[in-house]
A and B are shown apart, each in its own frame.
Chain A
Amino acid sequence: MKLTPRFFDRTTTDGSPGWEFILPSLILLSLIGLPILALIWRSFNIETFKFAISESAVNALKLSLITSIVSVILSLVSGTPLAYIQVHWKFRGKALLDLLVDLPVVLPPSVAGIALLLAFGREGLFGAMLNKIGITLPFTSVAVIMAQVFVSAPLLVRSARIGFAAIDPQLEEAAKVEGATNWNVFRLIMLPLAGRALLTGVILSWTRALGEFGATLLFAGNLEGKTQTMPLAIYIGFEQGLGIALVLSVILLAVSLVLLTFLRKLELQSQH
């Protein structure tokens, strides 16, 4: 490699990359791109699409959509106030709270599943009490939603926090001087201004909830129509033959792509 001044000039002034940047990037791009390409390539087969209308595929799709939408709504309703508290209040133990809320983002989902089982299982720390009053959570659709919220809500909270933090504190003070209540400040100023960040959070957590696998398998089990979401159906289907797993994978891929495209649009809009 030649260290010509021109080389440095080019990269430091306008930042356009040379092959030194393109080659390493290609490694990563092919690692991500080739499997996706293979997935799409193999699914171009009339044979596989007869699985698309199979009952278990439809059941898994329906269950995934319903549970993930409920998960996102729950995350939004409970995560937005939490993010607001995290941004606006100072109190002892806040660092610990921040840590707790961010933990599921880095925690392996299988750990989440075991933790959920030990807490809310029939003989679990709190599940035993619930069981006494006739509520059992494991192996129900509620357990699927709990697993999804556990792993996906923190993404929404993080995004909401960024949105709230970007709002000029003077706006809030001005509103309060004018006599606005806390709730009105939140509802009329903070929510509209953080709307885009919240929407980003919704999409991120929705895609994460749709893809949830490990925690669901451990905590909610695998029963068609009740707890068998698309990722579980893909796993089980893979063992029975590629067909059904392939079709479900392509459907999940398409849904994820649509959501991501929407997300990109939002990001681009907020830059203008």
Chain B
Amino acid sequence: MNVVRHLAPQDHIWLKMNKSFVFLSLVIFVILSGCTKPGLGLISTIKTSQFTSPDKPSTLPATLPAKHTLMVFAAASLTGAFQEIGKNFEMTNPGVSINFNFAGSQILRTQLEQGALADVFASADHKNMDLLITENLVAGNTYQDFATNQLVVILPPGNPGDVQTLRDLARPNLKVILADASVPAGNYARQILSNMSKDPEFGADFSEKVLANVVSNETDVKQVVTKVELGEADAGIVYTSDSIASPDLLTISIPDNFNVIASYPIASLTSAPEPQLATAFVAYVTSPAGQAVLIKWGFSPGSQ
């Protein structure tokens, strides 16, 4: 074929280059393997330096024990509140740094089941926490409810869908975004819709009509907030705390008789690398100082 004939001269150059390349990499390999010990030493120094001084340059004297790092897995809806609580906790406990992993509670639970290492798990529902207890990842009944949340309908700034009442959610061709049914917020939203369907004011097919308007089932509640905020949909159902964290959003409150009270459990994990610190963090979240932050972010105090 033509193409092949044309490439032939280049192939020769390639072969030559290949040979010298093989030679060169060989030389490098020999040099590297010749100094195995210093090489390994280099790697281990990098590792220890990473452990002793994580991202923030420490102002502490070097004589203090190595820094402790606490890994907290928390529901996406807790993002703002827990970041603030984390900062306060770090300030009151010098030498401690907290890493957060925020995602849908069901994602976090799956990650923990697959062996992710964490010290504390804060879930947006009991279902995911209870599953971890049956799997012995959380010690039975050690968890406490530290906050409650309710749900609210959010509308983008400017209300492009002209949603005035809850009944408007069932209007044909309205674009509604919910969290997926596997996400606690999505599950609660569906419970609320079915509660409303039992009321003759909304009609038995209300839930069905609203669910027919759903254009996307997002993987966590914050995705619902962002997409409604961008105006990609006319309405969404999220936590009250989410609407407080995004003040641009318009809201329609859901009456208590339809609403769901989501209680958030927190617990330290049985395989926590830092069990004492985990207990201290859980105690801090349930203390008046922690509760004050949660209230500021739109949560209600836990039912203890």
> Are A and B bound to each other?
yes
* Contact indicator B219/A12 (Cβ below 8 Å): no
Binary contact track B222-258/A, C-beta < 8 Å → 1, others 0: 0000010011110000000000000000000000000
Enumerate chain B residues within 8 angstroms of A3, measured Cβ to Cβ. 30
Q: Which listed residue, A193, A221, A223, touches B3 by the CB 8 Å rule?
A: A193
Q: Complex formed: what's the CA distance from A139 to B22 in Å?
A: 51
Enumerate chain B residues within 8 angstroms of A20, measured Cβ to Cβ. 26, 29, 33
**Min CB distance, A7 to chain B, in Å?**
9
Q: Does B190 contact A (CB under 8 A)?
A: no
**Min CB distance, B29 to chain A, in Å?**
6
Binary contact track B254-290/A, C-beta < 8 Å → 1, others 0: 0000000000000000000000000000000000000
Enumerate chain B residues within 8 angstroms of A239, measured Cβ to Cβ. 104, 106-107, 110, 182, 219
Enumerate chain A residues within 8 angstroms of B119, measured Cβ to Cβ. none
Q: Does B51 contact A (CB under 8 A)?
A: no
* Contact indicator A223/B182 (Cβ below 8 Å): no
When C-beta atoms are compared, the residue in chain B nearest to A239 turns out to be B106
Please count the residue pairs between chain A and chain B whose beta carbons lie under 8 angstroms apart in the complex. Answer: 87
Q: Does A251 contact B (CB under 8 A)?
A: no
Knowing A1-B30, A193-B2 are in contact, say whether A139-B219 is a contact too (CB < 8 A): no
* Contact indicator B219/A235 (Cβ below 8 Å): yes
When C-beta atoms are compared, the residue in chain B nearest to A238 turns out to be B110
* Contact indicator B218/A221 (Cβ below 8 Å): yes
- Residues 102 to 134 of chain B near chain A (Cβ within 8 Å): 104, 106-107, 110
When C-beta atoms are compared, the residue in chain A nearest to B216 turns out to be A221
**Min CB distance, A20 to chain B, in Å?**
6
Q: Complex formed: what's the CA distance from A193 to B26 in Å?
A: 39
Q: Complex formed: what's the CA distance from A113 to B160 in Å?
A: 23
Q: Complex formed: what's the CA distance from A166 to B5 in Å?
A: 10
Binary contact track A7-35/B, C-beta < 8 Å → 1, others 0: 01001100100001000000000000000
Q: Does A222 contact B (CB under 8 A)?
A: yes
Q: Does B42 contact A (CB under 8 A)?
A: no
Enumerate chain A residues within 8 angstroms of B107, measured Cβ to Cβ. 239
Q: Does B4 contact A (CB under 8 A)?
A: yes
**Min CB distance, A270 to chain B, in Å?**
7
Enumerate chain B residues within 8 angstroms of A196, measured Cβ to Cβ. 3
Binary contact track A234-272/B, C-beta < 8 Å → 1, others 0: 011011100000000000000000000000000000110
Q: Does A147 contact B (CB under 8 A)?
A: no
Q: Interface size bucket, A side?
A: 20 to 34
| Chain B interface residue count, Cβ-Cβ cutoff 8 angstroms | 36
Q: Complex formed: what's the CA distance from A167 to B33 in Å?
A: 45
**Min CB distance, A86 to chain B, in Å?**
18
Q: Which listed residue, A12, A123, A222, touches B230 by the CB 8 Å rule?
A: A123
Enumerate chain B residues within 8 angstroms of A236, measured Cβ to Cβ. 180, 182, 217, 219
- Residues 170 to 185 of chain A near chain B (Cβ within 8 Å): 171
**Min CB distance, A259 to chain B, in Å?**
23
Q: Which listed residue, B1, B33, B104, touches A1 by the CB 8 Å rule?
A: B33
* Contact indicator B232/A166 (Cβ below 8 Å): no
Q: Does A47 contact B (CB under 8 A)?
A: no
Q: Complex formed: what's the CA distance from A139 to B227 in Å?
A: 11
Q: Does B62 contact A (CB under 8 A)?
A: no
Q: Does A227 contact B (CB under 8 A)?
A: yes
Binary contact track B180-219/A, C-beta < 8 Å → 1, others 0: 1010000000000000000000000000000000111111
Q: Which listed residue, A166, A193, A220, A240, touches B182 by the CB 8 Å rule?
A: A240
Q: Which listed residue, B6, B160, B233, touches A168 by the CB 8 Å rule?
A: B6
- Residues 52 to 91 of chain A near chain B (Cβ within 8 Å): none
**Min CB distance, A33 to chain B, in Å?**
20
Enumerate chain A residues within 8 angstroms of B6, measured Cβ to Cβ. 166, 168
Q: Complex formed: what's the CA distance from A227 to B2 in Å?
A: 44
Enumerate chain A residues within 8 angstroms of B3, measured Cβ to Cβ. 166-167, 193, 196, 270
When C-beta atoms are compared, the residue in chain B nearest to A245 turns out to be B110
Q: Does A217 contact B (CB under 8 A)?
A: yes
Q: Complex formed: what's the CA distance from A265 to B56 in Å?
A: 53
Q: Which listed residue, A1, A121, A139, A227, touches B231 by the CB 8 Å rule?
A: A121
* Contact indicator B219/A222 (Cβ below 8 Å): yes
**Min CB distance, A155 to chain B, in Å?**
20
Enumerate chain B residues within 8 angstroms of A231, measured Cβ to Cβ. none
**Min CB distance, A26 to chain B, in Å?**
15
Q: Complex formed: what's the CA distance from A177 to B107 in Å?
A: 65
Knowing A222-B219, A223-B215 are in contact, say whether A122-B232 is a contact too (CB < 8 A): yes
Q: Does A117 contact B (CB under 8 A)?
A: yes
Q: Complex formed: what's the CA distance from A220 to B223 in Å?
A: 12
Q: Does B43 contact A (CB under 8 A)?
A: no
**Min CB distance, A146 to chain B, in Å?**
14
17 residue pairs bridging A and B, Cβ less than 8 Å apart:
A1-B34, A3-B30, A8-B23, A20-B29, A121-B230, A121-B231, A136-B175, A139-B233, A166-B6, A166-B7, A168-B6, A223-B214, A227-B216, A239-B106, A239-B110, A239-B219, A240-B182
List of 4 A-B pairs having minimum Cβ-Cβ separation, nearest first = A221-B216, A139-B215, A123-B231, A239-B106
Q: A123-B230, A235-B219 are in contact. List 7 more A-B contacts (CB 8 A).
A: A122-B230, A220-B216, A221-B177, A221-B218, A222-B180, A236-B217, A270-B4
